[in-house]
A and B are shown apart, each in its own frame.
Chain A
Amino acid sequence: MLNDLEKKRYSRQIRLFGEDGQAKLKKAGAFIAGAGGLGSVISIYMAAAGFGKIRIVDCDSVELSNLNRQVLHWSDDVGRSKARSAKDTLEGINPEIEVEALEETISKENIDQLLSGCSLIMDAMDNFSTRYILNKAALQKKIPLFHGAICGYQGQATTVIPGKTACLRCTFPRAPPVTTFPALGSTCGVIGSIQVTEAVKYVLGFGGLLENRLMLWDGLSCSMDEVACMRNPGCQDCSALIGDANYKQEMSK
């Protein structure tokens, strides 16, 4: 499954979860929605860890004001498409994996096609209207959605497992307004790293996930809290797409 170079490259991880575990990562395809602050951290760590296929999508070009946090893109990349810049950086980090970078705006119309062949959705968006599209797609395809969001020193993360946990809409029924949010790169580092750790555990099938738990990070006081999330029976997204009865079955198992 792994060639000699891969065995060497991933040797410190193989100490953690064995060649079998590494082979599971190699087989996994991750869809990363956004190549901004969170998308940078998520894609860099997923590429380095050896997720076999990464598809990263962003419609923007690199701006100078992105560089404080979007570590995928460097000063020379200003003006280039984020997708192309992301592809160069990720392939430079790990040529053993397959990187697809698409210059697209995620929509209800194209999400199915964008997700084809991917079994993990990494939320690196900057708005809830697109997050709700990712949530519905995760429910429809029954694949996990690893949610993360940041603002300034603060961040949040939770893991949505369709058929098992509250969905993103259960936890956040209504979107906060779109604003030009303040952003610190290291906050993206904290939250994006949590999302990748969740995806690694999910693929390997061990550890405790952020299931029905919303983790809240406050960098200003350096504290982490969590609040419980609960499925909303009658939720407009997961009730419609999976059905309340299926959740009851899951819970009584």
Chain B
Amino acid sequence: MLVKVMAFASFREILGRERELELKAGSTVGDLLDVLASTNRRFKEAAFEEPGQLREWVLLMINKKRIDPFQDLGAELHEGDEIAILPPVAGG
């Protein structure tokens, strides 16, 4: 199945603005993040605390709905889903 990944702020510099990814049927958000991390070292360093553990402040949305990076990584993705990933900025 094909899903769309949209990155914002500093993640956009690493992943590009948006890309389509072919995933196995039944893949989860966690699987998608693993694919991104295993193919992009800079993303892995920026977004993950340690392998498999996303940094707690990373914002993730599926079809514009926010999901919790601690609880919802097992959520199943579907053909055509749009996943947004971004880090909040904090400066003033």
Chain B residues positioned under 8 Å from A179 (CB to CB): 90
Chain A residues positioned under 8 Å from B59 (CB to CB): 171-172
Complex CA gap A154/B79 in Å reads: 31
- Considering only CB atoms and an 8 Å cut-off, how many residues of chain A contact the other chain? 42
For the complex formed, measure the closest distance between the CB of B69 and the CB atoms of chain A, giving whole angstroms. Answer: 9
Kindly specify which of B9-17, B28-36, B37-45 makes contact with the partner chain: B9-17
Query: From DSSP, what is the main secondary structure of chain B's interface residues?
Result: loop
For the complex formed, measure the closest distance between the CB of B88 and the CB atoms of chain A, giving whole angstroms. Answer: 5
Complex CA gap A52/B17 in Å reads: 42
**B residues neighboring A (CB under 8 Å):** 8-10, 12-13, 17, 56-57, 59, 61, 64-66, 68, 84, 86-92
Chain A's closest residue to B84 (CB) is: A227
The residue that B90 contacts in the complex, of A128, A225, A228, A232, with Cβ under 8 A, is A128
Residue A29 at the B interface, CB < 8 A?
A: no
Given contacts A175-B57, A225-B8, A227-B8, A150 and B84 within 8 Å (CB-CB)? no
Chain A residues positioned under 8 Å from B64 (CB to CB): 227-228
Complex CA gap A138/B22 in Å reads: 44
Asked whether B92 lies within 8 Å of A126 as measured between CB atoms, the reply is yes
